[in-house]
Amino acid sequence: GITRTPLIAGNWKMNLDHLQAVAFVQKLHWALKDAKHQDGSVEVAVFPPFTDIRSVQTLIDADKIPFALGAQDVSAHDSGAYTGEVSGAFLAKLDAKYVIIGHSERREYHAESDDVVAGKVQAALKHGLVPVICVGETAEDLEKFGASAVPAGQLEAALKGVPASADIVVAYEPVWAIGSGQAATPQQAQDVCAALRGVLAKSLDEDAAARTRVLYGGSVKAANIASFMREPDVDGALVGGASLVVDDFAAIIRFEK
């Protein structure tokens, strides 16, 4: 069958200025000198604030650091009169590979609807970026509808118009688990990630479902990463808080099943 390379992704949110970001990436690289990501068996990606991306790009390029680069958001538009927005074309020019789209903080604090998320997914693909499509239920959703219904609906909406051949990543991030210290259980993560793979099969095709990585996110740390990675439908992690501590993020990347 298809093997999916695990992806460990660090979402820094609004933390670390460009000088701090450069120092952090140097330290992380040093902490991972002999780690398995060096041989490509695990992919590492960092998602700094926009103002850091050029500096981090220059560093990973100069020192041949094997981290992929991503942004935390992208405009649905290509260019023009959209004050404060950042185009996918600009991100691609900085060698960004990934872009997080539809993070729960953007859905909540910036009123990003499923339609806005779908528009940003289209923009990312148009500019050759891999969208990391974030979906997840709130505590209230969980109580009312169970775990899978809301994230499955969000993913279906985000995939509107996406071709089956598209290179995408899905991140299941239960809102109640983000930054709360209360991670989902491995079984909960597995169940929803499997349901999301079902959405990929239905909205795209079976090959897309088999090849697309579905990540878990929400209070992932060194102590629980292995338990998630042992689940067959969990292909990596989107890590917030613990991606800001060199030793913690390095230990997550070094997970052993």
Output the known binding site for substrate: 11-13, 179, 219, 240-241
Q: Are 205 and 162 in contact (CB under 8 A)?
A: no
Which residue's C-beta sits nearest to ligand PEP?
Answer: 240
One of 190, 212, 219, 224 touching ligand PEP (CB under 6 A): 219
Q: Are 248 and 222 in contact (CB under 8 A)?
A: yes
Return the structure tokens found at 35: 């780690």
Return the structure tokens found at 51: 């103002």
12 or 90: whose CB is closer to ligand PEP? 12
240 binds ligand PEP per the rule CB under 6 A: yes
Catalytic-role residue among 43, 103, 105, 231? 103
10 binds ligand PEP per the rule CB under 6 A: no
Largest CA distance in the chain: 51
192 binds ligand PEP per the rule CB under 6 A: no
72 binds ligand PEP per the rule CB under 6 A: no
Return the structure tokens found at 132: 């990391």
Q: Based on the residue annotation, tell me whether 77 is a catalytic residue of this protein.
A: no
6 binds ligand PEP per the rule CB under 6 A: no
Minimal distance in Å, beta carbon 11 to ligand PEP? 4
239 binds ligand PEP per the rule CB under 6 A: yes
- Determine the interface stretch with ligand PEP among 60-68, 87-95, 120-128, 172-180 (rule: CB under 6 A): 172-180
218 binds ligand PEP per the rule CB under 6 A: yes
Q: 7 Cβ partners below 8 Å, 6+ apart?
A: 42, 43, 45, 169, 213, 215, 235, 236, 237
Q: CA–CA separation, 216 vs 35, rounded Å?
A: 22
Which residue do the tokens 């109580």 mark? 143
Q: 185 Cβ partners below 8 Å, 6+ apart?
A: none
Q: Based on the residue annotation, tell me whether 143 is a catalytic residue of this protein.
A: no
Return the structure tokens found at 254: 């070094």
Minimal distance in Å, beta carbon 104 to ligand PEP? 7
Strands 213-217 and 169-172, bridge-based pairing: parallel
Active site residues: 103, 173
Residues that bind ligand PEP (CB under 6 A): 11, 173, 178-179, 217-220, 238-242
